[in-house]
Amino acid sequence: MFALIHKWHRKIGIFAATFLLLLIGTGIVINHSEQIGFNTSYIKQNWLLDWYNIDIDSEPFSFAAGSIRVTQIGNRLYVNDKEIANNIEQLIGLQMINGYFVIAYDHSLLLITKSAEAIEILSGEEGVPSGMKRVGIAADGQLVIEAAHGFYVVDLDELQWHEQNSMQADWSLQSDVPEDVLNILKDKYRGTGLSYERVLLDVHSGRIMGQWGVYFVDAIALLLAFIGLSGIWMWFKRLT
Amino acid sequence: MFIALLFPLHVFAMGTYMEPEEFLTKTFSGNTPSPEKLWITKDLTRDINEIMGHDLGVVRLRYWDDKQKRAWILEEIGRDKPITVGLVTADNAIQDVKVLVFRESRGWEVKYPFFTDQFNQVQLNNEKELNKHIDGISGATLSVNALRKLARLALYFESVVSSR
């Protein structure tokens, strides 16, 4: 019995130790992933992005004004090819006013320069009306917002919101994303879709190989438990 | 009870605890003043970088001032997502801190008064650090750090605005 246990202890030990090193390595790195920056560093390898099916899952659309094109892909927002937000729900429109640009999304207005530098973000607490539907420019050049409860003529500098019953305006219109821009944005979208930390977690748990990978890691864990128990058992046997 | 058992706790922990508008209404007892503008100059950007470890990404910030106290609505990322916090300052000290929106799946314990009340009457020292130790919360280190930074930032802005 001792010889049999000893034989399997050694055989399984060599096999399991290989995976134990992998688990130790990934485990230590995961514990310190924030300090290393692995939670904010992203995989660029296409084969791995393909393995995870990281791709655009909704039809991109955009608004254009002057030199600026703002595009929503999934929950990310791009000004030309620069990502400026990653957790938005709905891009509503874009207007150019007084030399800068106003991007309306969700419950907010983002003011940017023509070089896509953010000036400020305005939300409900600054008076942005709820239920924004579209943004436009009135004949006198003022910014107009149509929201759930009516129309608002906006002075963005003084933050005054003048409610109106109805308004004629040159409304921001949604457009398709040009093919060349879309290809650039697709690469950028995929390039920030999968963090190193996510891959490490999945390697550690075996999930990177799907459900069978998890069962495999479970099996390795059981083998390691056998190594531990058989080692203790043999040690006691030798003592006696 | 049954439904609560079906969902992980963090599903209930994430979300909007108080709308920013409600925070302002309560802070100013229903008479919320018009927002003021704070321009983020180069000098301010340098100090903001020192406090936050990064710039704010905007050049203009709004705050609310009724000449007795000032309200700031600021955001900082805890781990992955921004935490929106309302802070009230007066006489270079913090009067109130409220976590308004919490989007992370962990660290939401920072919303409780047992944590936020620690900031009351805290001031900024010459090194732009808080003059009182703020106890952390196990498992919420990054959220705690985010709130400490925002408290320092609000006090810094308070000093900038009050010195004008």
Q: Is B160 left (phi over 0), alpha (psi -120 to 50) or beta?
A: alpha
Per the domain annotation, does A50 fall within a domain?
Answer: no
- SS3 state at A183: helix
Any B CB within 8 A of A155 CB: no
Q: Is B60 left (phi over 0), alpha (psi -120 to 50) or beta?
A: beta
The verdict on A152 and A215 lying in the same domain is no
State which residues form the domain around A76: 61-177
Residue A12 lies in a domain: yes
pLDDT in tens, A105-140: 999 999 999 888 899 999 988 989 989 999 999 999
Q: Are B127 and B121 in contact (CB under 8 A)?
A: no
Distance from CA of B155 to the nearest CA of A (A): 20
Asked if A146 and A200 sit in the same domain, the reply is no
> Best interface-test mutation with A: which of B27, B59, B70 has the largest number of A CBs within 10 A?
B59
Considering its fold, how many domains does chain A have in total?
2
Question: Is any Cβ of chain B less than 8 angstroms from the Cβ of A81?
Answer: no
Same domain, A159 and A72: yes
Q: Which domain holds residue B140?
A: 2-162
Whether residue B135 has pLDDT greater than 50:
yes
Phi first, then psi, for residue A122 (nearest 5°) are -110, 135
* Global confidence as pTM: 0.74
Give the nearest chain A residue to B74 (CA atoms).
A121
Instruction: Going from the first residue of chain A to its last (240 residues), give the mean pLDDT of each consecutive group of 10, the final group possibly shorter.
Output: 86 88 92 85 89 85 94 93 89 93 95 90 90 94 92 90 89 93 90 89 92 93 92 87
The CATH number covering residue A142 comes to 2.120.10.30
The count of domains in chain B is 1
Residue A82 shares a structural domain with residue A166: yes
DSSP state of B109: G
Pairing of strands A160-164, A91-97: unpaired
Which of B22, B34, B106 is the mutation pick for testing A, counting most A CBs within 10 A? B34
A26 touches B at CB < 8 Å: no
Q: What was the pLDDT predicted at B96?
A: 97
Q: With an 8 Å Cβ cutoff, is B55 touching chain A?
A: no
CB contact (8 A) between residue A159 and residue B34: yes
Q: What is the DSSP letter of A124?
A: G
